[in-house]
Structure 1
Amino acid sequence: MTVWDRPEPPTRPVLLDRERIVAAAIALADEGGLEAVSVRKVAARLDAGPMRLYRYISTKEELFDLMVDEVQAEILPEGQPVDWREALRVLAQRTRQAALRHEWLADLLGGRPTLGPNGLAVAEATLAAFDARTDVDTVMRAVETVSAYFIGAIRREIANLRAERTTGLSKHDWQRAHGPHVSTMLATGRFPALAKAVHDGTDVDAETSFETGLDWVLDAVATRLTRPPM
């Protein structure tokens, strides 16, 4: 039985429910990451005994599932996308936006899907945008392909943001600090392709990089979806 299937116990003597527990856990994670979340810390924030929380959740993993599903409500599109391309673009963009608000989400993306009501609603809105005549296996591979792209891109972006906070160096500060070493290595002539990328490549911001990569992946998926059946 999943956490969503189990009935909640009575709230007395301290007003408590899964909604308040999840809200407290998300607040802790927003402040200090997933490592800041524990049943004891959530209970302390709610002024309740830790054992009481175990009447609502069985494990920390269940708590994480509930947290992810709560954030899925932020990812759910405001209206039904008009086609599959818009659906996948909205899914990618809104997931990125949610992860920038809740950086811990990046650590939980890509695993087994959560089965909460919001997560199921996001999946339904995405899949429903595909032409009903499209083979379901093709649809699933399309969703998996785009998801693999944006999950990886989001994790990289969040990792860079964390590195900036940890080191105190912005991207450009880091590049300047390591510039002499890179220049020395490129001057050896051993890395001509890398040298061309460094000297001739255009530096773009994270959002531009994300949107460009997303367009390329969607174009590739479109080619597969429009290919005539064998």
Structure 2
Amino acid sequence: MSVWDRPEPPHPPVPLDRGSIIAAAIALADEGGLAAVSVRKVAARLNAGPMRLYGYISTKDQLFDLMVDEVYAEIVPGERPGDWREALRGLAHRTRQAALRHEWLADLLGGRPALGPNSLAVTEATLAALDGLADVDTVMRAVETVSAYFTGAIRREVADLRAERATGLSKRDWQRASGPHVTKMLATGRFPALSRAVHDGTEVAAEVSFATGLDWVLDAVAAKLARPAG
């Protein structure tokens, strides 16, 4: 039985419900990442015995499913998007914002589809915005392409944030510390393209890079949707 079909136990002796379990698990993950989440730790947070939680969930993976769906409530569009580009752009930016609030989400993005009610609501709103623009397979590939872009970009950004905390060095500090080695390697002449990128490229903020790449992907999707079938 999936966690979504599992009924809550009736009349527990100590007040406990699925919502409080999810909230406790998310709080633990926000504080210490997914490694900080276990059935035992969630139970301790709620001052309940671990066995009590097994009336609501069977595995830690089910707990993760519940956590992800709770965060997907932050990603559901508040109103119907004006067009498909707005729908996909909004999905990407809301997912990024949710992942920056809950960094552990980046570790659970991608893979098999999330099947909770909020996750399904996000998928429904996204597909509805593209409905009728092309055959269903083309629509699915379009959504998968945009999702693959923002999932990878979000994971990279979160990895940078974690590295900064782990090392105590900001991105600029890390670049400064790595400068002598990079300068020496570029001086060999073996990396001319990289040298041009380092010396002539413009560094932009993470949100600007994310938005720019997203627009390029959406342009490519638009070209595909405009192409006659055949």
TM-score bin (small chain): over 0.9
Indicate the RMSD between aligned Cα atoms, in angstroms: 0.7
Cα drift, residue 228 of structure 1: 1.4
Task: Extract structure 1 runs of 4+ deviating beyond 2 A.
Answer: none
User: Equivalents in 2 of 1:59, 1:12: separation in Å?
Assistant: 20
How far apart are 1:64 and its partner, in Å? 0.2
After superposing the two structures, state which structure 1 stretch, 3-12 or 194-203, moved more: 3-12
For residue 172 of structure 1, what is the aligned residue in structure 2? 172
Q: How does 1:1-230 map to 2 (within 5 A)?
A: 1-230=1-230
Aligned residues: 230
SS at match of 1:176: helix
How far has the Cα of 1:24 moved from its partner? Answer: 0.3
TM superposition shift of 1:12: 2.0
Gaps in structure 1 of 5+ consecutive residues: none
Distance 1:229 1:49 in 2: 59
AA at the equivalent of 1:124: E
Q: Report the Cα distance in structure 2 between the residues aligned to 1:210 and 1:100, rounded to whole angstroms.
A: 13
SS in 1 for 2:173: helix
Q: TM-score, structure 2 length as denominator? A: 0.99
Offset at residue 133 of structure 1 (A): 4.8
Q: Which runs of 5 or more structure 2 residues have no equivalent in the other structure?
A: none
Q: Output the CA distance in 1 between the equivalents of 2:43 and 2:10.
A: 16
For the residues of structure 1 that align with 2:147 and 2:114, how far apart are their CA atoms? Answer: 15
Normalising by structure 1, report the TM-score: 0.99
Instruction: Go from structure 1 to structure 2 and tell me whether the alpha carbon gap of 1:33 and 1:203 turns closer, same or farther (over 3 Å shift).
Output: same
- Give the aligned residue type for 1:106: A
Identity fraction in percent: 80
Instruction: Provide the rounded CA distance (Å) in 2 between the counterparts of 1:10 and 1:46.
Output: 18
Deviations 1:103-154 (A, max 9, x none): 0000000011111100000000000001425200000000000000000000
Deviation of 1:11 (Å): 3.7
Letter in 2 for 1:180: P
**Contact (CA 8 Å) 1:22, 1:67: kept in 2 or not?**
yes
Question: What is the alpha-carbon distance in structure 1 between the residues aligned to residue 119 and residue 101 of structure 2?
Answer: 18
1:207 partner amino acid: E
Secondary structure, aligned partner of 1:74 = coil
